[in-house]
Structure 1
Amino acid sequence: MSTRTVRATMTVTLTALAAAALAFAAPAGATGKTSTPAPPKFLSAAELPPHPSSAWTADKVKDGVPEELRFCLDAALPGYDSRYREFRTDLDTGARQLTFVVGSDAKAKALATRLNKEIRSCPTRIEQSDPEVEAEFKDYGTLPVEEGAHVYGLHTETSYGATDINLLSVGRDGRAVTVVGWGQMGDFGDAPVPAFKKTTTTAVKKLY
């Protein structure tokens, strides 16, 4: 099994609800108007954790879910539409942001709760799906940004010694929920946790 296959097996998926149009009532005798709120903003390459030897580049924002996020989060996503942006370096380090908007704050809160639950249970599902992979999980706690965010670490190691480290976070601002993922070869000692927390805080603040 290749390192890239391990990461694809290990990582997570999501999908998201398209932004709902917001209708404004017009005064009596006036013509009613309907406007659509601007979609949430995404991280830029400069807002990713700094890489020691390679600059980040950002792809265009696309509809759908990045493959690297599918394994851990797929169960939470049916019925949602989403948009995402992927980031890459010249070396074996990558990142992605997945964002969606739902119909109410209550629905967004419920979705964020479900996504956090799926991330926490992902290590067990990884090991159940492939007996040659061991998965270890760390909870790096919450962040006081908008309606809150939570940061996690996920390390996998194959029976032949290939290791990958991923950082994942879930954050919410009103009806918008975002998931940020970062990954490369290595273990927990290679994870830029403080910088990733800063990136997550920025991602949630930028939603609206």
Structure 2
Amino acid sequence: MLKRLGTTVTAVLAATAAFTLTASATATAAAAPGFITGRDLPPHPASPWSTGPVTKGLPEWPVFCLEGALPKANAWHRTFNTEFDTGALQISVRAASDSAAAQLATALERKVAACAADWLRKNPGGTASWQDYGKIKVEEGAHVYGVHTSIPESEPGVGLYGIGRDGSTVTVVKWSQMGNLSDAPVSAFKKTTTTAVNKLNP
């Protein structure tokens, strides 16, 4: 009888330990990644950055160039604003595995690289261009792109996109303002992208 009781207690303890480990792993997977702050963004010459809260899910409005490409599951975002026309956004997604994250990062890069051409097909009267600013050696890697669009009788717009990965977590940082690719702070934004990837899993 005592032997049976001891076996039962051992089994219960083992099951409890397994459940605790599983719960802990689930909680870790569901936890928000680390995010940048306004201090990590390229400085604006006339306005400080205001930093919004880290919010579960995707932004309310689709992200230009990445419409339909970002999964809603295990996604978080944070928005940044200045007093002028310059804004920024970071979105991070925890994928199911490293390989799934790698596939997502590749898909996002392709989407941004094709953005200018896709936009022109929908806006034949406008002009658009893009620039590949190269890869960054940080964790599993990052890539920076620039996209410029303009329609007649309207101000041109420019956006910088940093897409990077640390393990199973993918992040996208987007900086945008009125202007052209020549106005974009590429060097400073590469530092922002590097910081964003380094902060994902502190």
Q: TM-score normalized by structure 2?
A: 0.84
Deviation at 1:190, TM superposition (A): 1.0
Q: What amino acid maps onto 2:137 in structure 1?
A: P
Asked if 1:98 corresponds to 2:91, the answer is yes
After superposition, the C-alpha distances for 1:37-96 in whole angstroms (9 at most, x for unaligned) are: 142111111111111110001111112323565342223235644110000001110000
Secondary structure, aligned partner of 2:42: coil
Residue 57 (structure 2) aligns with: 64
Residue 196 (structure 2) aligns with: 203
Q: Runs of 5+ in structure 1 lacking a partner?
A: 1-26
Q: TM-score normalized by structure 1?
A: 0.82
Asked if 1:192 corresponds to 2:185, the answer is yes
Give, in whole Å, the separation in 1 of the partners of 2:64 and 2:157. Answer: 15
Residue 178 (structure 1) aligns with: 171
Tell me which structure has the larger Cα radius of gyration. 2
Give, in whole Å, the separation in 2 of the partners of 1:91 and 1:126. Answer: 25
Deviation at 1:160, TM superposition (A): 1.9
Give, in whole Å, the separation in 2 of the partners of 1:172 and 1:204. Answer: 6
Asked if 1:89 corresponds to 2:82, the answer is yes
Assess, with a 3 A threshold, how the Cα gap between structure 1 residues 184 and 171 changes in structure 2: closer, same or farther: same
Match of 2:102 among 109, 130, 134: 109
- Report % sequence identity: 47
Size of the aligned set, in residue pairs, is 182
Deviation at 1:189, TM superposition (A): 1.7
Q: What amino acid maps onto 1:168 in structure 2?
A: Y
Q: Runs of 5+ in structure 2 lacking a partner?
A: 1-9
Give, in whole Å, the separation in 2 of the partners of 1:202 and 1:107. Answer: 22
Normalized per residue, the structure richer in helix is 2
Give, in whole Å, the separation in 1 of the partners of 2:43 and 2:64. Answer: 26
Give, in whole Å, the separation in 2 of the partners of 1:68 and 1:197. Answer: 25
